Amino acid sequence: MKTYNILIADDYTENLQIIVDALQGSAMPHRIIKAINGRILCELAEKRLPDLIITDWEMPEMDGIEAIKYLKSLETTKDIPIIMCTGIMTTSGNLKLALDSGAVDFIRKPIDKLELQARVYSMLQLADSYRTIKDQNVVLEQQKSEIELQSKKLEETNHILQQQRDEMQILNKTKDKFFSIIAHDLKNPIGALLNTTEILRNFTADISNETRADVYEIIAVSAKNTYALLENLLNWARTQTGNIKLESKIVSAQNLIEENLSLLKGSAKNKSICLFTDITEPLLVYVDANMIKTVIRNLITNAIKFTPESGTIKISGTKFDEYVQISVSDTGVGISDEVKEKLFKVGEHHSTEGTNNESGTGLGLVICKEFVEKNGGRLWVESEIGKGSSFIFTVPLGVGDIMVEDDIMELL
């Protein structure tokens, strides 16, 4: 059974002994600690942390009310129950003052032994209950903290799982797009190759030179379209898996454009399209050259595809304070508002035949947008049905102390 420490304060030793004697007949195991004034009472209470305090009201140096107020102001002693034991507590006003100061009970002098034992017993039991509740609250707070920590970990896990689900959806969407493109577009040029090679295999001796030239042209175009499709698929797949690393440097935008023009001028000539540039000043850009060449090539190829014979395609560039704006404008068929909304979305299949029934993947513009954005720019389209289209993109201006290539220096 627990032994309780009881601190008693009274400036008269006779009164102290009366309380000690009264408690000796109690069945509660206890030790008595004595103080002769309020100051010593406070010192002993802070050092010994008793289970109960019984104090007189009127004492030298510090009276009982002052001592109670002081002890209740301290974190270590504020929960110790205090009984006021005094002969001056004869009015309700005095009683209220004692209780307001922090006393939990009172005993009038002269002391009744049984009353003292009963009140002390009830206060100690109450203090034990309070300590039990306080300890339980500490445990509950710890459990609450652990639950909150586990909840936070669970939220983080759910967040990670959601990210993984989102990534899986993107991968599935990518896979579906691959299958869609292969099923819809790859079969056309491959089918043309199969048909024309079958003609050559079965009817070589019977076809004229003119027909043979047409067959060879079909084979060449089909092979070219197949290659373009596979190239776009490969580039797009690399962007989705993060395998393309940005290798930016200062380059000449004119050089990137001219390289593409030399590759595509034959296609434009076959449709009698006037393909030219309208750039009057050196345009240095800070980009990944291969990415932006791919962008320009796709945009010019699309312009040729949707521009009728004898049409015009103009590539222009303008320098601003922090970026360069490049546009590919054509006098082609134009784009409806409905199609504009789908142009740069992977999940939408909107491949359209060109003015000479040229085929496409519907993927080139998606790659263009991603490549431009990787280089810190943006891509958009301005178009009107029957009046042509302008695909416009921006890239960072090439400025600063970055080392430039020799061919750029020749432009300065």
Summarised one tens digit per residue, pLDDT across range 336-348 is 888 888 888 765 5
pLDDT score of 184: 53
pLDDT tens digits for range 179-238: 665 655 566 567 767 777 777 777 666 777 777 777 777 777 667 767 766 776 676 666
Instruction: State whether the Cα torsion 150-152-153-159 is positive or negative.
Output: positive
CA distance 386 to 179: 33
- Is the pLDDT at 251 greater than 80, yes or no? yes
pLDDT score of 189: 65
Q: Is 249 left (phi over 0), alpha (psi -120 to 50) or beta?
A: beta
- Is the pLDDT at 102 greater than 60, yes or no? yes
pLDDT band at 88 (very low <50, low <70, confident <90, very high): low
DSSP state of 62: S
The owner of tokens 């291969």 is 290
| Domains in the chain with CATH codes | 4-111 (3.40.50.2300), 246-412 (3.30.565.10)
- Is the pLDDT at 405 greater than 70, yes or no? no
pLDDT tens digits for range 134-165: 888 888 889 999 999 999 999 999 999 999 88
Predicted model pTM: 0.49
pLDDT band at 241 (very low <50, low <70, confident <90, very high): low
